[in-house]
Amino acid sequence: MIQQVPDAKGRYGDFGGRFVPETLMNALIELEQAYLHYSADEDFNAELNDLLKQYSGRETPLYHAKRLTEHFGGAKIYLKREDLNHTGAHKINNALGQGLLAVRMGKKKVIAETGAGQHGVATATVAALLGLECKVFMGEEDMHRQQLNVFRMKMLGAEVVPVISGTKTLKDAGNEALRYWVSNVQDTFYILGSAVGPHPYPLMVRNFQRVIGDETRRQILESEGRLPNTIVAAVGGGSNAIGMFYPFVHDHDVKLVGVEAAGKGIDTPLHAATMTLGTKGVFQGSMSYLLQDEYGQVQPAHSISAGLDYPGVGPEHSYLKDTKRAEYQPITDEEALDALKLLCRTEGIIPALESAHALAQAGKIAPTLGSDQLLVVCLSGRGDKDVESIMAYENKGGDAE
Amino acid sequence: MTIQQNLIGRIALNPTAEGGLSAGASQTNAIEETFRRIGEQGGTALIPFLTVGDPDIETTLEIIEQLEAAGADVLELGVPYSDPLADGPVIQRASARALQQLISVRTCLEVAQQARERGVKMPFVLFTYYNPVLQTGLDTFFDEAAAHGISGLIIPDLPHEESADVLERADRANLALIPLVAPTSSERIEKILRNGRGFVYCVSSLGVTGERASFHEGVDAFIRDVRSRTNLPVAVGFGISSREQVERFAQSCDGVVVGSAIVRKIESLIPNLMNADQREDALLQIRKFVAELKV
C-alpha cells in the first residue's frame, strides 16, 4: 500500500530521514520551512513557471518515436524530450526551483555537486541568471570524463572545485559539497542535484522534477486519450525518474520501471546496481539502499555513465521498490552504448549515456508488449557531453571510459 | 589469524561475552567518574583522538599506551569510514590508511579490549559514523561495545531526532551517547541535552574536523549558554591543536578534545614508526607532543 510520503520526519517508510552533523540541522529545518512556505506561494510558483517556459523552453515534447517503435516491434514508444531543455537535461528544472528559493531565503552564494556535469552546468546557469556566486564540486575523475561540461561551467562564471578524496566521482563530490556547506552554512545555499540527501532534499527535488511527469500525463492524454502502460526512466540518484513516476504513482495500471547501471555486469564488482545488489544503509544524509560491504563501508560504484556512477539511490525509490510499486532493472555499459547508437540511427537523436540505459531497457520490454500498448521513456538528457567519452571507449576496445 | 577473524570467531562461540544487557542508565559510567575526579582536582580533561589502525593495529595499541602515559584522561577511538562527512582532510587520510588495513568497527572494539589487557585504564569513547553501527546490528553492536570496554559513543551523523533507537540501547548497556552541540544549534540545545550522558561535546566552530587558527566568534558565549543548561561536564573540540588553545578553553570547559593535530603528528611519523630503529623514538615524540597539551 502506497502512503502519502514523506511523513513529517522526512521518512518514506523505512527510508529517508536526516542523518547529518548537528551543525546542519537548523539549516535543514530552515530550508524545509522556507520550501514549504514558498511552494505554496503564488508569486514564487508564477516566477518558476515563467522561467521554466520562457527560459528553459518547457513544455518539452512527448515525441512518438515511430522508427524506434518499428525497430523494437511491439509497444508504441514515446520519448519525453527532457534533452531539449535549455542546458540539455532535466537538471535545470530543479536548479531553477532551488535557485529561486535561495534568492527568496536571501542567500548570495550557491554550491552544488555534480557527476556527469549536467547538474553543475544547470546550477552554474541558474547562478548566472540570478546573479549568485557559484561553486561546483566535481570528482577529478569525472572532470576528465566530462571536460566539456567543466569548461561550460567555467564559461558560465562558476568555480569548479576538483574533488580528490575517495573515488573522485559523484559520491565524493557530494561528500565535499556537504563538508563545505557545514563550514559555510550561514550564507550558502546547497543546490543538491538529485532526489537524495537529508530531508527536505528528496521531497523538494521530486516536486521540482514532477513537471516531467505532470506534462507527460497531460500530453499522453491529449495524444492517446489514455495513460501509458509502462514508463521507463534511468536511476542514478533518481531525480528524473522520481519526477516522471510521481504523478503516476497512484495509477496502479501504469507500470513504473527504473533502470540502473550494471556497468561491466552485475556478476562483476564493476557496477552501480544499488537496487539489484544493495542493502539498506545510511549514506549522505538518508537511509536508502546502498552498495556497501558487511561492515557498512560504502563500496565504489562503476558505470560508463558518470551520472549513474553512484552507490546510493533516492529514498523514495527505495520505498517504491519495497512497496513493489516500481521495479528496478540493471543495464550494462554495452547495452546502453548499443541503445545510444540505435537511437542516433533510427531517430537522429543523440541521447545522454544515462538516458541510453532507459532506452536499452525499453528495448527489452517493448517487444514483449502488444502494439496497442503505450511505453514512455524519459529521455533525461542529451549526449553531446558524452561524445568524447564514447570515442575514448571505442578506441580502447571497451576497456576504459 | 587476523584480529578481525579472531573477533568474529570468538563472538560466534560466545555471543553474549561478559557484558550483556544487565547494565543500566542508573549505573555510574567511567567517563562521568573520570570527569568527577578531574573536576575535584580543578583540572581539565585531555581527550585525544586517534584513528584505529592508522598506520596499523600494533602501532595504535602502542600509541594508546603512550597517550595514557602523556596524561590523556579519556580516549576517542576513531572508527575508519569510507565517507567521513564530518571530517577534514587529516582524518580522511587516516581513515583511508586504516581502511587499507581492512579495519572494521569490530576490529576497533577488539583493539579497545586489547588495550585494556595491556593495562590501559582511561575510558574509551568510540567515534563512529552511523552506518557501521547499523550494519553491525544495533543489538549486537551494543552488546559487543559494552563487553569490549567502551564507555561512550560519538556518532557525528546521528542527530537527536534520529537517535531514539540508539539512545535506548546505549542506556541499557550503560554506554554514554555523547550529545554534540554546534554554534548553530541555538534553541535545539535544550532538547539535545535532555537525555545526554557522559559529557557534552561542543563543536568549536562551523565546519569539519581539522586544525584552525580561529574559532567561531561566538564560541565563548555558546559554551556559557551550553553550561547554563546542563549539569554534565562540558568539553570542546574541532580544531584545537596547540597548548595555547587548550589553555584558552580550559578556562571555560571541563575537557578539551584534540584530534587532527595528533593524527597529523602520527601521520608525519609513519616512516619512523615503521622503522624498527626509529620506532621507540617516534612513540616518544607522540607522547611528548600530547604531554605538552595537558594543562
pLDDT by residue (tens digit) across B235-294? 999 999 999 999 999 999 999 999 999 999 999 999 999 999 999 999 999 999 999 999
The pLDDT assigned to B16 comes to 38
Of all residues in chain B, the one with the smallest CA distance to A172 is B83
The catalytic residue positions of B are 76, 87
pLDDT at A245: 98
**Residue B26, pLDDT score:** 56
More confidently predicted of B119 and A141: B119
A23 contacts in B (CB within 8 Å)?
182-184, 203, 206-207
Residues of A with CB under 8 A from a CB of B: 9, 17-27, 165-166, 171, 175, 178-179, 182-186, 279, 281-285, 290, 292, 294-299
| pLDDT given for residue B23 in this prediction | 43
Which residue positions in chain A have pLDDT lower than 50?
400-401
Q: Report whether pLDDT(B213) > 90.
A: no
B11 has a pLDDT exceeding 90: no
Interface test with B, best of A23, A26, A169, A180 (most B CBs within 10 A): A23
How many Å is the Cα radius of gyration of chain A?
A: 19
Task: Tell me how close the Cα of A199 comes to any Cα of chain B, in angstroms.
Answer: 12
Q: Does residue B22 surpass a pLDDT of 70?
A: no
Asked if A17 lies within 8 A of B162 by C-beta distance, the reply is yes
The pLDDT value recorded for residue A1 is 64
* Cα A280 off chain centre by: 20
Please give the model's pTM, rounded to 2 decimal places. Answer: 0.94
Q: Is B229 helix (H, G, I), strand (E, B) or coil?
A: coil
For residue B9, pLDDT over 80 is answered with: no
User: Taking residues B199-205, what's their average pLDDT?
Assistant: 96
Which amino acid is it at A119?
A: H
Average pLDDT, chain B: 91
Q: Looking at chain A, which residue has its C-alpha nearest residue B135?
A: A296
ipTM: 0.95
Q: Do A135 and A163 form a contact (C-beta atoms < 8 A)?
A: no
- For chain A, the three-class secondary structure string (H helix, E strand, C coil) is CCCCCCCCCCEECCEECCCCCHHHHHHHHHHHHHHHHHHCCHHHHHHHHHHHHHHCCCCCCEEECHHHHHHHCCCEEEEEEHHHCCCCECHHHHHHHHHHHHHHCCCCEEEEEECCCHHHHHHHHHHHHHCCEEEEEEEHHHHHHCHHHHHHHHHCCCEEEEECCCCCCHHHHHHHHHHHHHHCCCCEEECCCCCCCCCCHHHHHHHHHCHHHHHHHHHHHHHHCCCCCEEEEECCCCHHHHHHHHHHCCCCCCEEEEEEEEECCCCCCCCECHHHHCEEEEECCEEEEECECCCCCECCCCCCCHHHCCCECCHHHHHHHHCCCEEEEEEEHHHHHHHHHHHHHHHCCCECHHHHHHHHHHHHHHHHCCCCCEEEEEECEEHHHHHHHHHHHHHCCCCCC
How much is the pLDDT for A398? 60
Tell me how close the Cα of A43 comes to any Cα of chain B, in angstroms: 31
Chain A: give the shortest CA distance to residue B183, in Å. Answer: 7
Of the pLDDT bands very low, low, confident and very high (cuts 50, 70, 90), residue B10 is very low
Note if A113 is an active site residue. yes
Q: Are A210 and A247 in contact (CB under 8 A)?
A: yes
As a whole-number percent, the residues of chain B with pLDDT over 70 amount to 91
Among the listed residues A91, A107, A171, A255, the single catalytic one is A91
pLDDT single digits (tens) B134-149: 999 999 999 999 999 9
Question: Which ranges constitute the DSSP H helices of chain B?
Answer: 3-13, 30-40, 57-69, 89-100, 105-117, 130-136, 138-147, 164-172, 189-193, 219-228, 243-250, 260-268, 270-273, 279-291
Nearest chain B residue to A177 by CA: give it.
B85
Residues of A in contact with B156 (CB under 8 A): 21-22
- Reduced to 3 states, what is the DSSP secondary structure of residue B228? helix
Q: Which residue is closest to B87 within chain A, CA to CA?
A: A179
Sheet holding B124-127, edge to edge: B176-177, B150-154, B124-127, B75-78, B45-51, B255-258, B234-237, B200-203, B180-181
Q: What is the pLDDT of residue A399?
A: 53
Cβ–Cβ gap A282/B130 under 8 Å = yes
Pick from A23, A179, A282: CB nearest B203: A23
- Whether residue A179 and residue B133 make contact (CB cut-off 8 A), yes or no, is no
Could you confirm whether A380 is annotated as catalytic?
yes
> Is-contact B203 B238, C-beta < 8 A?
yes
pLDDT tens by residue, B83-111: 999 999 999 999 999 999 999 999 999 99
